[in-house]
Structure 1
């Protein structure tokens, strides 16, 4: 019997709080749309925590009709995400630090104005400005034409509006906030993949987590891929900033990246004429299969870290794009099931995974905004402990060629 999972059923899979209030902001089945909406700790009569959650509908230019949902916590983080853009995270700020970057794309572009197949499959770039964009799930990686179709850059889910969106606030301290969105990749004769995304945040904390459940609703098996394309610019990224991760191996993505292999751990300042350099990493993990990757500033008192499970996301991509600030000065830390090669190469090298009919899989990540020397030191110690006595293997030859 085929397993059909509603948004509520999916929520149970990732253990919703026992006592909570829930607001449905979007519901495609019932044509529900709250539009501009707000709730706050004051309205909920919560005295020992201070936060607000607000949804705004944007107007003008290519952002016409886009929605932005923002969580603001006093003495904590401000987290902005877009239900219109696959529940992608736009930016995160707090404690004088920002996780995110400055893209030439300034608007929260409504996918209705994007043709993913333009520029030979690079249309995805016309909306790319997020701190974290999900690249998948039907496919990911660089564009390629195969099987009679164009596999566009980084898939479709990041440019798919959520069919259902819920906000949930726990009735008891510490008043955890959960934002859920159901994103569907359903095409006649092709695929019926549905992802219930969930962001969890405790007001006042300097970290938040993502818990995504991907389900194959079709009667046939289907491949899937995912890269959590997580992007950081100033003030974390600067000349002398460092990338940190426990690693089994590293190799250049292509011949151009060979030139930066010896300096993979450090960053240049904004450099005109710098093309992107990408490195393929096989991460190490602890006994619970958890690993940690981070980028920290030169002084070692600001940064961002990502914890993930290597059973779910076995590979890591490092993207260094230290071009000029106007062009987009940014680095990407990208846990995934695949590297960024086209799906044809990832299939050949056996990194494309598959879900059976009705089967689900889950992805769990925790993002932490580092805002002190001691927090950066703790991350460095954790990474050093996971690395242990394992010697990093550096391979100067790319594992594939496009």
Structure 2
């Protein structure tokens, strides 16, 4: 019996290993890196939606040495991410729609050229141009000085090069692609948080997902925070565009945002001197703790939706930055464990979480590019179903003051 079970287990293991091919592009422990690299579905003799995966090392200016990985699906999405910048997603596009925005920062800035402590802790902004940037995990939020240190804007993960990067392609239909990157926030006497990030995509589809696992490798418990800062501009963002989500309540982040409460979930055209407005939201969820939020264009035939689990990411931030196009015309949908207040406020209000030694936690999000009125209508129905007959409570009073 034991021999049979052992043989069965070995057969399953061999089968699992044979069902996918894996390429290690970066391995810091071994000091190896493939540099420029490319693989295609044609090379792998895979039928179905054609795709390619390519890594490039960039040169010139502040992007010298930065790497990008482009996953291109001929009849689906092209997704671009940067292993140098915390596995952040630079942009995704397909079906005539782009997910991303136009930042004044045009290069994929190598973190080696960024001082996070400059501008009183706002140095993070010197590289900010991504569609999705991980704000965390050791801390996040606006900069502050506490505990004898400067907590810089939105933490360090988004400006940390991945220590290990690998690409996996399933050898069976629908040939799912997984791109993984290990982000280490390890500091002597302070923290040893490590996050294995993973992007999953099925060629030809209009959505992709993130599956991130955060582990505390230290012998002591440690706090953690995360905001998935997801940003969208044209062609989705425009005058008359709308934000939708099932919500228990909404409130302004600060006194400036109080002036925008009457129209907080609709957008204006690019407006000089607008300044940013931020709104704190508490999402509702279905019986499985799943929810979603979306930004939709005026015509209702284009949009970006994010699905997430409120047991993992219990709060939601909406960032409205409808400044001029050159300054950065953009809105943010930001699921997180915390709002964007400094870590000191988030601690006081009991939103900072903690991991025990050796413990792990995970975060799962699904991004969908909406490219038809039918897809938009379906998302609106899902939001309405979760909202049900519950009323969203609106408050003009910020929940905290910096």
Match of 2:373 in 1: 373
Alpha-carbon distance between aligned partners in 1 of 2:90 and 2:132, rounded to the nearest angstrom: 7
Deviations 1:83-141 (A, max 9, x none): 00000000000000000000000000000000000000000000000000000000000
Alpha-carbon distance between aligned partners in 2 of 1:401 and 1:18, rounded to the nearest angstrom: 55
Alpha-carbon distance between aligned partners in 2 of 1:119 and 1:56, rounded to the nearest angstrom: 31
Alpha-carbon distance between aligned partners in 2 of 1:64 and 1:74, rounded to the nearest angstrom: 29
CA shift, 1:49, in A, is: 2.6
Q: 1:51/1:389 Cα in 2 relative to 1: closer, same or farther (>3 Å)? A: same
1:121 aligns with 2:121: yes
Match of 1:343 in 2: 343
Greater Cα shift, 124-133 or 45-54: 45-54
Alpha-carbon distance between aligned partners in 2 of 1:169 and 1:286, rounded to the nearest angstrom: 32
1:210 aligns with 2:210: yes
Match of 1:32 in 2: 32
CA shift, 1:52, in A, is: 0.1
Give 3-state SS (helix, strand or coil) of 1:311's partner.
coil
Matches within 5 A, 1:2-13: none
CA shift, 1:31, in A, is: 0.7
Which runs of 5 or more structure 1 residues have no equivalent in the other structure? 1-15
Match of 1:227 in 2: 227
- Contact 1:169/1:175 (8 A) holds in 2: yes
Match of 1:247 in 2: 247
CA shift, 1:18, in A, is: 6.7
Alpha-carbon distance between aligned partners in 2 of 1:329 and 1:72, rounded to the nearest angstrom: 26
- Contact 1:17/1:170 (8 A) holds in 2: no
1:299 aligns with 2:299: yes
**TM-score, reference length from structure 2:** 0.96
Greater Cα shift, 292-301 or 18-27: 18-27
Give 3-state SS (helix, strand or coil) of 1:249's partner.
strand
- Contact 1:225/1:338 (8 A) holds in 2: yes
- Contact 2:23/2:166 (8 A) holds in 1: yes
Match of 1:7 in 2: none
Match of 1:387 in 2: 387
Alpha-carbon distance between aligned partners in 2 of 1:266 and 1:277, rounded to the nearest angstrom: 12
Deviations 1:214-259 (A, max 9, x none): 0000000000000000000000000000000000000000000000
**TM-score, reference length from structure 1:** 0.96
Q: Figure out how many residues of one structure are paired with residues of the other and give that number.
A: 387
Alpha-carbon distance between aligned partners in 1 of 2:316 and 2:48, rounded to the nearest angstrom: 40
Match of 1:334 in 2: 334
Alpha-carbon distance between aligned partners in 1 of 2:245 and 2:387, rounded to the nearest angstrom: 8
- Contact 2:49/2:75 (8 A) holds in 1: no
Larger Rg: 2
1:76 aligns with 2:76: yes
Alpha-carbon distance between aligned partners in 2 of 1:138 and 1:51, rounded to the nearest angstrom: 36
CA shift, 1:48, in A, is: 2.5
- Contact 2:135/2:229 (8 A) holds in 1: yes
Match of 1:258 in 2: 258
Match of 1:190 in 2: 190
Match of 2:147 in 1: 147
Alpha-carbon distance between aligned partners in 1 of 2:246 and 2:74, rounded to the nearest angstrom: 34
Which runs of 5 or more structure 2 residues have no equivalent in the other structure? 1-15
Q: 1:272/1:17 Cα in 2 relative to 1: closer, same or farther (>3 Å)? A: farther
Deviations 1:16-70 (A, max 9, x none): 8871000000000001100000000011012333000000000000000000000
